[in-house]
Each structure stands twice: as structure tokens, then as C-alpha cells.
Amino acid sequence: MHELDFISPLNGEIIPLEEVKDPVFSQKMLGEGFAVIPQDGNVVSPVDGKITALYPTGHAIGILSSDGYEFLIHIGINTFKLSGQGFKIHISNGQQVKQHDLLIQFNKNELESQGIDLTTSVLFTNKEDFKLLRQHEYVTTEDKHLFQIGDSNVLL
């Protein structure tokens, strides 16, 4: 049995992808996963791994975990249209990261005052067997055991 040491990348309310107000995420076109309605504007690395994609706007990050899981953290809905306004990037593409490393900060109050939905999707792009274990609960960047994933349904 193999466990992935994974934490929530944000503090906030965890929700199923089906509740995200964007069909790309709610219909799981980019993969399985979950979303967090953020309480603050800090996004940390949920795993040890490598940054494989970093959008210059700061709204999305791809990470390959040291265990071989590929995932995408997508901050907000249609935030690519902001051209990076309100986002501060703390990492670079190809960089090795450790769990809890600060990846991105965003100005939550400023963006929400513009009507931006900051619901952040966390998508596993190379796994389909996924079960969310916690829903509509407050989670922090210390929380684990959020879901089951993989052929063996390992608790993560």
C-alpha cells in the first residue's frame, strides 16, 4: 500500500468539484479532484514535488508529486482574464518544492470586490479513481485525509 502525503493547499471550505460554477471543473473535463472556497489568499504546496506548469498570470500551477501524481491547482474562475492582477508568484517553473512552501498569494479582498469567484479547484490529472471524504467542512493547510485515490483506494 502506497500513501501520498497530501495536505489542503488552502484554508477554507472544501467542496466537491460538481459544485464549482464552471463546467470545465464541475464536469471534470480536466480531471478528478475537489475545490476549496478560500478563506485567505495563500496557496501552499500540498506535496513535495516539482512545478511542471506555471501560468504567468499566477492563476494556475501544475505539480508532479515525488510519488508520481500529477495535479493542477486552478485559482478562481476566469481569473486568467486578470492578466496577473492581484496575484504574486513565489515559485518558478521547474522548481522543486516542499510541502507547505508558499506558491502563490492573491489579494482575496481586492479580487472579490471585483466580483471574482475565487473557488480554487485541485485536479488530479492522471487518476480517475477518486472519492472525496470531506465536504462542506473548514480545512486548513495542515489537514490530510481529504480523499481516497488510486486503484487501492489508499486513504490520503
100 catalytic per annotation: no
Task: Say which of 74, 100, 136, 145 is annotated catalytic.
Answer: 74
Mean pLDDT value across residues 5-33: 92
The pLDDT of residue 2 is above 90? no
Q: For 79-87, which contacts have Cβ atoms below 8 Å and span 24 or more sequence positions?
A: 79/111, 79/116, 79/118, 80/55, 82/57, 82/111, 82/116, 83/57, 84/56, 84/57, 84/58, 84/59, 86/110, 86/111, 87/57, 87/58, 87/59
The confidence score (pLDDT) of residue 153 equals 42
Residue 20 has a CB neighbour count (10 Å cut-off) of: 23
Q: Where are the domains of the chain?
A: 12-155
Mean pLDDT value across residues 122-128: 80
Distances (CA, A) of 132 to 37, 52, 88, 95, 97: 15, 25, 30, 29, 25
Mean pLDDT value across residues 48-52: 97
- Please indicate, yes or no, whether the overall pTM of this predicted structure exceeds 0.85: yes
Confidence of residue 148 (pLDDT cuts 50, 70, 90): confident
Q: Which residue carries 471585483 as its cell?
A: 114
Question: Right CATH number for 12-155 from 1.10.10.10, 2.70.70.10, 3.40.1010.20, 3.40.50.720?
Answer: 2.70.70.10
Confidence of residue 128 (pLDDT cuts 50, 70, 90): low
Distances (CA, A) of 106 to 44, 82, 84, 99: 12, 12, 9, 19
The confidence score (pLDDT) of residue 132 equals 75
> CA nearest 79: which of 38, 111, 123?
111
Average pLDDT, the chain: 88
The confidence score (pLDDT) of residue 121 equals 96
Mean pLDDT value across residues 107-124: 94
The pLDDT of residue 52 is above 60? yes
Show the cell assigned to 57: 498570470
